[in-house]
Structure 1
Amino acid sequence: MSEKRLRLIILLAVAQIFGAAATHAQTQLTPGSFKAYAPEAMEPRVSDFSGKPVPRYASLRHGTVNGRSGPSLDYPIRWTYERAGLPVVIIRESQDWRKIRDPQGDEVWVNKSQLAAERTAITTDTGSIFREANPRSAYIARFQAGAVLALGDCDGAWCKVEAEGHKGYVRRAQLWGIDPLTAPPEIH
């Protein structure tokens, strides 16, 4: 085998190894790993593509969602999310693709069909779902950091949630995906 051919084979093998290493499954979330909701300097606006405000919350529709480095199937997969319901922030849009920011601050593009409008939140620490919006009320379920909860209304320090048939209240400070994003400009 020629030296030139051997170098090419080694180069291809190295490229394949590093290409495969760039794709990760993102399933573990730990306390302290949660990041800000949207980039600091982001100006709110109404999207020309969806007519909805950007940034805004959404959730992952399926148990496996590929996040790409750009807005088409031609771009490589950067993340494979394995968490239906994971709350994300849509920070940019194209015709069929949405750039999202996940709870850990990673930004990738996903096809709009992979997102749901249902609001969810993710717990940032261990805690309890209480029967009433009061820490002295009985708790009806306990959760670990990273639990995905269906989100209802938030009032003051508490949010109404549901998880696996348990309906109750969780302290707002224990949730990611609930803080208001800057309001979009009014359309006249």
Structure 2
Amino acid sequence: MSGFLTVKRRLLVVSSAFLVVLSTLSASAQDARGPVTNLPLPRYVSMKAAEGNVRRGPSLTHRIDWVFKRRGMPLQITAEYGNWRKVQDRDGAGGWVHYALLSGVRTVLIESEMLPVYANPDPNAQISAQFESGVVARLGSCSLNWCQISAGGYRGWVLKSNLWGVDPSEIRE
């Protein structure tokens, strides 16, 4: 019986140690910071340039895989290396882009067809516009469920779940 208790205690110690390591890794993944900028990773930015080469690696010697051709397009930075940022778009496509082609101005991509834009963050408020899927809008303040956006001279509030380029739990003043 004492051998069984010893094995049980060892298993308890090993499983407890595993849980501590797992929670530490999970916390550090949530608090990841870029080694160059010390800004959070991942984070959202937008394309500053009208065109930007997307390379296979972080240097001019790496092959260009494709070219982003949409000024203001929201992108997510997932890694940093020197003057290069590894980015991905809404579809997960990406690669390395020189930091000079990126802007800290936050934009979002509309993901719903004919998305109603409300005058206030309330589904019973007056609809001031409707945005088509694929529209790039400038991101304003966000509560837990709503974000204020603007595009094409129109401004209003939309449900955050209809946007790509803002985290579900992100609050912006």
Match of 1:178 in 2: 166
Q: Residue 149 of structure 2: which of 134, 141, 161 is its match? A: 161
Match of 2:66 in 1: 79
Percent identity, aligned pairs only? 33
SS in 1 for 2:147: strand
Match of 1:106 in 2: 93
- Alignment check: 8 A CA contact 2:46 2:105 kept: yes
- Alignment check: 8 A CA contact 1:122 1:147 kept: yes
> How many pairs were matched up?
141
Aligned residues: CA RMSD: 1.8
Q: Residue 150 of structure 1: which of 135, 138, 159 is its match? A: 138
Higher relative contact order (CA 8 A, sep 6+): 1
Shift in alpha-carbon separation, 1:132–1:181, aligned structure 2, 3 A: closer
Q: Quick one: distance in 2 between partners of 1:171 and 1:48?
A: 34
- Alignment check: 8 A CA contact 2:161 2:168 kept: no
Q: Quick one: distance in 1 between partners of 2:54 and 2:77?
A: 13
- Alignment check: 8 A CA contact 1:55 1:181 kept: no
Q: TM-score, normalised by structure 2?
A: 0.75
Q: Quick one: distance in 1 between partners of 2:168 and 2:80?
A: 20
For 1:80, the aligned partner's letter is V
Where structure 1 has 5 or more consecutive residues not aligned to the other structure, the ranges are 1-41, 183-188
Shift in alpha-carbon separation, 1:143–1:161, aligned structure 2, 3 A: same
Kindly indicate whether residue 109 of structure 2 is the aligned counterpart of residue 137 of structure 1.
no
Q: Residue 45 of structure 2: which of 55, 58, 72 is its match? A: 58
Q: Quick one: distance in 2 between partners of 1:144 and 1:167?
A: 14
